Amino acid sequence: MTSLLTELRPPPISSSPPPLPIRKPPSSIGYWVAGILAVLGITAALVWGAVGTISALDRVDSFDRTTVPGAVTVQVTDPGTMVVYYESVAEFMRDADPRATGRPATPSNLAATPTWQQLGLTVTGPDGAVMPVGTYRSTARYDVDSGRLGRAVARFEATTAGQYRVSAARAAEAGATLAVGGNFARSIAMTALGTGLLGLVTIAAAVLLAIATYRARSRSTGSPQR
């Protein structure tokens, strides 16, 4: 007789895979870098704007001047647009242009700032030829000193280096002066444009860096653990 022996064995235990190492989320240093970048960019833009504006206004002191009526010789070393400014007492200018103080203009002084035609303005180039003169279309004002303001009234193109003679034949008021120099208002505008672009670029870069850091950390913490 053959006996059958049944050997009872426990079912094999399947071995589970070792747990995956827990991945640490990317560092949050990207947020710090983004913040520092934004602060540095805005600070640099503000400093650039302040220095550029002050430098442009400081150039007003170097303008060539003459009393009206009178003439002045301007030495041009860098050909380009030259601007003629009319300088007079502040009260006269404020009534002429209410934007200077916010006060309403009085009818008697609406035309207080004379045009270059009224001043009899002429410009003679280095070769002795009379240069074309045009009206300065925008608004450019500055403080000369206590109680006096300057305003751009005319412009001309200095096409070559040399001496240009600017003369005004008629006076609109006593004590007025004529100043000739570069377009300081354009310099201020270009500085403002450059500082604005610098601020926008640095802020945009900071925002993109912060978004990239956030997405990287979200992908890491949101991935399923095996």
Q: Assess if residue 24 is contained within a domain.
A: no
Residues 153 and 116 in one domain: yes
Note whether residue 8 is domain-resident. no
Looking at the domain assignment, is residue 173 inside a domain? yes
Do 119 and 39 fall into the same domain? no
pLDDT confidence of residue 153: 94
Distance of alpha carbon 70 from alpha carbon 204, whole angstroms? 53
- The answer to whether residue 23 sits within a structural domain is no
Q: Which residues of the chain have pLDDT under 50?
A: 1, 91-111, 223-226
Distance (Å, whole) CA 29 – CA 27 = 5
Together in a domain, 215 and 139:
no
Does one domain contain both 41 and 137?
no
Residue 92 lies in a domain: yes
b (16+ CB within 10 A) / e for 170-200:
eebeeebbbbbbbbbbebbeebeeebeebbe
Residue 104: what pLDDT? Answer: 41
Written as six digits, the tokens of 57 are: 């206004």
- Please tell me the distance from the alpha carbon of residue 226 to that of residue 221, in angstroms, as a whole number: 13
Residue 26 is predicted with a pLDDT of 67
pLDDT of residue 144: 74
Q: Residue 98 is part of which domain span?
A: 64-103+111-181
Residue 122: CATH number of its domain: 2.60.120
The answer to whether 195 touches 109, Cβ cutoff 8 Å, is no
